[in-house]
Amino acid sequence: MACLLETPIRMSVLSEVTASSRHYVDRLFDPDPQKVLQGVIDMKNAVIGNNKQKANLIVLGAVPRLLYLLQQETSSTELKTECAVVLGSLAMGTENNVKSLLDCHIIPALLQGLLSPDLKFIEACLRCLRTIFTSPVTPEELLYTGPDHQTILFNHGAVQNIAHLLTSVSYKVRMQALKCFSVLAFENPQVSMTLVNVLVDGELLPQIFVKMLQRDKPIEMQLTSAKCLTYMCRAGAIRTDDNCIVLKTLPCLVRMCSKERLLEERVEGAETLAYLIEPDVELQRIASITDHLIAMLADYFKYPSSVSAITDIKRLDHDLKHAHELRQAAFKLYASLGANDEDIRKKIIETENMMDRIVTGLSESSVKVRLAAVRCLHSLSRSVQQLRTSFQDHAVWKPLMKVLQNAPDEILVVASSMLCNLLLEFSPSKEPILESGAVELLCGLTQSENPALRVNGIWALMNMAFQAEQKIKADILRSLSTEQLFRLLSDSDLNVLMKTLGLLRNLLSTRPHIDKIMSTHGKQIMQAVTLILEGEHNIEVKEQTLCILANIADGTTAKELIMTNDDILQKIKYYMGHSHVKLQLAAMFCISNLIWNEEEGSQERQDKLRDMGIVDILHKLSQSPDSNLCDKAKTALQQYLA
């Protein structure tokens, strides 16, 4: 029974407290504006440093009324300012207070306040916004910093207004201006192109940024300047071979990766450098030989070490909690470094215990670390040499298959992309992957809502089917099902369609396989081929489809499915006379395979095709200015003469 009494007791205590607070809220509804203003001022004094009072006023519904007064055109500027101050004070209470304010849609109201001509009111709104946005319970997307907002700021003269602040006597002001430029320039060519030409006291902005990343400047300033130059470079406003990138920005970011730097500086330095060099081979090469970077990154995995120089216990505690961010940053930078160059990949893999570290990273609890580890592995898996050696020695496919069992889409996309590489015919991992149930897993991916996963699923199956045994091909067809195959052939994503045609082409290779598959799935495959050749598709799609027909024409019994289908024969004839050489050549392959002399029934096939006017077309093509087409036509004509 005691449990039941608890609630009423609490209720009575609450009602006593709220009763003493109610008069503050009641005064907000007074018809006299002067009394309302005084009421808000009194409320401000009552809540300062008093969390209980803040909670009471929120419970009593003060927030909607304060927001109403703040937005009323009839409210005086002084009243609006005092309302913003009180709301800011309420936001400084508990996380629940912030949640309550967010539930009342405080952010749009405060953002609207920034359009006021009154500076004091703007400052009060900004202070309140800052308090709300620095709270962990506020979702970041509420203050979106994407291209739309960058453009709004840009169009309202943000660049010109912020530029002169870079020469302010106050270090804090200079830093805020720098940070603002880094946010504005990120992935925004329009802003970045403008920044390159901005003059501040007769000096171009990039030159000012370069001065700010010199060694004698505070680390925070060096890093943020390097970010500005990195983002401008990635947005195409500064060339990758410009001295300010090669000789200034890149070396500065490498310096940030050294073990002398604080954890967050090392993380930010490595991640920014990874972003800078990601698309450029030359920058990857330069970075890889700067200050022993590849070996330096290995220290990211030994942090904090037993002989760590951290004497501050608070700092040590903080770093232990954030050590996973170092591993994530190292994986990201290794992925960028090894994206193109075989020698760099070799150096990375030969770094102490590197493969073991990546494999461990695949099963970390942090999704971000897992994603970075998979990206790193994917980058290294582009190397034929490594696929044959290190990847096999460490049985990388095992943890990868585990990752693919259940992971968020962003990890699945990279992991399945890597699986495509491990399934290439020269990869020793191909066999064990097949034995561990990869066919079902990949067929499952082809049914994903996410087009990138559908592409990777079908791509991996295409690699798997290349020069594969009949049993594997049968497994793929059975697991995929003809219904799903047709769905993929009518997929709206061009990549999915192309890879599905590639899969079909690989399934229909080598005669016994062609005949076997066409004996069981011939009708449906011919139907699909017809639909594609009749549809509105690009040259590449039609070429792949004609190549599939050429493979079918290479079968012993499968040929008949073409020869007895007048519609298909007319289509082949049409493409022999097409304006595009690629399609003419593909159609020629079909004809050559159908009329080849040494095969049974070749005479009947030749006669039927002659009656259709194919020989006339061959004569015409033997005069083609395209040497390849001309040779193929002459070879085909010889079959008739033999």
Q: At what angle do helices 119-133 and 77-91 cross, to 10 degrees?
A: 20
- Inform me whether the pLDDT recorded for 307 exceeds 70: no
- Inform me whether the pLDDT recorded for 7 exceeds 50: no
- Inform me whether the pLDDT recorded for 572 exceeds 70: yes
Instruction: Please state, rounded to an integer, the average pLDDT across all residues of the chain.
Output: 90
Half-sphere exposure at residue 285, Cβ-oriented, CA atoms within 13 angstroms: 9
CA-based nearest residue to 491, from 427, 537, 555: 537
C-alpha 46/C-alpha 455 separation (Å) is 62
What pLDDT is stored for residue 97 in this prediction? Answer: 92
CA-based nearest residue to 34, from 79, 87, 84: 79
pTM beyond 0.85: no
The arithmetic mean of pLDDT across residues 174-184, rounded, is: 92
- Inform me whether the pLDDT recorded for 40 exceeds 70: yes
pLDDT in tens, 137-146: 887 666 555 6
Q: Residue 390 corresponds to which amino acid?
A: S
What pLDDT is stored for residue 305 in this prediction? Answer: 59
Residue 309's pLDDT band, with cuts at 50, 70 and 90, is: low
Alpha-carbon distance values, 243 to 227, 247, 333 (Å): 16, 5, 22
What pLDDT is stored for residue 39 in this prediction? Answer: 95
What pLDDT is stored for residue 393 in this prediction? Answer: 85
- Inform me whether the pLDDT recorded for 550 exceeds 50: yes
What pLDDT is stored for residue 119 in this prediction? Answer: 87
- Inform me whether the pLDDT recorded for 291 exceeds 80: yes
What pLDDT is stored for residue 581 in this prediction? Answer: 93
CA-based nearest residue to 256, from 284, 312, 296, 286: 296
Q: Which domains does the chain have, with CATH numbers?
A: 1-135 (1.25.10.10), 520-641 (1.25.10.10)
C-alpha 522/C-alpha 510 separation (Å) is 16
pLDDT in tens, 497-514: 999 999 999 999 999 999
- Inform me whether the pLDDT recorded for 587 exceeds 90: yes
The arithmetic mean of pLDDT across residues 13-18, rounded, is: 48
C-alpha 362/C-alpha 399 separation (Å) is 7
The arithmetic mean of pLDDT across residues 279-294, rounded, is: 96
- Inform me whether the pLDDT recorded for 8 exceeds 60: no
The arithmetic mean of pLDDT across residues 160-168, rounded, is: 87
Lowest model confidence (mean pLDDT) among 239-248, 387-396, 448-457, 587-596: 387-396
Residue 17's pLDDT band, with cuts at 50, 70 and 90, is: low
How long a stretch of residues is the chain? 642
Sign of CA dihedral 242, 244, 246, 249: negative
8 A C-beta contact, residue 62 and residue 24: yes
Residue 525's pLDDT band, with cuts at 50, 70 and 90, is: very high
- Inform me whether the pLDDT recorded for 126 exceeds 70: yes
